[in-house]
Amino acid sequence: MRFSVLGSAGSYNSPGSACSSYLVQQGDCSVLLDAGNGSMANLFDFCNPAELNAVVLSHEHADHWVDIVGVYHYRLLADSSGGEIPLLAPPSLLAALSKQLHADDFKGVFKPIPIDPSTEIEVEGLKLRFSRTNHPVETYAVSVTGQDSVIVYTADTGPDCEPLNLLVAEADLLVAECTWADQFTYSGPPLHMNPSSFVRLLDRSQATLAFATHVAHPQSRQQVLEEIRRLTDRNVELAIDRLSVEV
Ligand SMILES: [Zn+2]
Ligand SMILES: [Zn+2]
């Protein structure tokens, strides 16, 4: 599989970076994981939006889905050759999107599929599975199993989420949020991870590579990476927009 970063900023855009979006490709199959604000501009570097085979939106926070509006209109008005594709998202987000787009049925662009923890779907040889995360709204991490490897993307999550610990076990590539540096203080319901919780999650997986992503500006991505590397010898890098790797 090929994994590409279309947006890696946390919660809102940061200088030069779009919000959360990733592309998984195997052969002719392309699956979009989240569509944060600004990310569609980077999508064109890797895939014509008309050639997407499926879209997954992890949750209803705007930094993870706003550019699906652009993908929808592109596939509706500019190039409809790709036909209807699955749009997997939590039920509340599907309802909000159909309202936003004034399209109860998504007009043949998307086939809405509500995600629950038991959802499994195969798209052109890529198998998608899901787990809930620790986040204030219904949020799903996604595991993508291809021919030779497994990619797990955590979406947004607070620390020590047991279903997520299980989902990451088989990951070859772990793409995990690390929104805050360790000294950032937050008290409230589970929301995001920091280097300590990132490494605890990484320790639950066999991943040979992990990307830290969703670092929230103005915190320093480099500082977050250094803090992670102080805690583990595992192979950890920063997710950076337009970065692309074979997995
Ligand atoms: Zn977010
Ligand atoms: Zn969120």
Q: What CATH number is associated with residue 43?
A: 3.60.15.10
Ligand of minimum distance to the alpha carbon of 10: 1
- Which pLDDT belongs to residue 197? 98
Confidence of residue 18 (pLDDT cuts 50, 70, 90): very high
Cα(19)–Cα(7) distance, rounded to whole angstroms?
5
Mean pLDDT of 146-153: 98
How many domains, in total, are found in the chain? 1
Q: Give distance in angstroms: CA of 79 to centre of ligand 2.
A: 31
* Residues flanking ion ligand 2, Cβ below 5 Å: 61, 156
Q: Residue 104 pLDDT more than 90?
A: no
Helices (H) and strands (E) in the chain, counts: 6, 14
Mean pLDDT of the residues in the chain: 97
- Which pLDDT belongs to residue 180? 97
Domain presence at residue 144: yes
What does the pLDDT look like over 64-100, one tens digit per residue? 999 999 999 999 999 999 999 999 999 999 999 999 9
Any residues with CB less than 8 A from the CB of 215 and at least 6 apart, and which? 8, 9, 10, 178, 179, 180, 221, 224, 238
Q: Give distance in angstroms: CA of 58 to centre of ligand 1.
A: 9
Q: What angle (nearest 5°) sits at the alpha carbon of residue 83, between those of residues 31 and 74? A: 75
Q: Give distance in angstroms: CA of 214 to centre of ligand 1.
A: 7
Ligand of minimum distance to the alpha carbon of 157: 2
- Which pLDDT belongs to residue 128? 98
Q: Residue 243 pLDDT more than 90?
A: yes
Q: How many CA atoms are closer than 13 Å to the CA of 127, on its beta-carbon side?
A: 9
Domain presence at residue 156: yes
Domain presence at residue 118: yes
The residue segments making up the domain with residue 74 are 2-242
Domain presence at residue 247: no
Domain presence at residue 41: yes
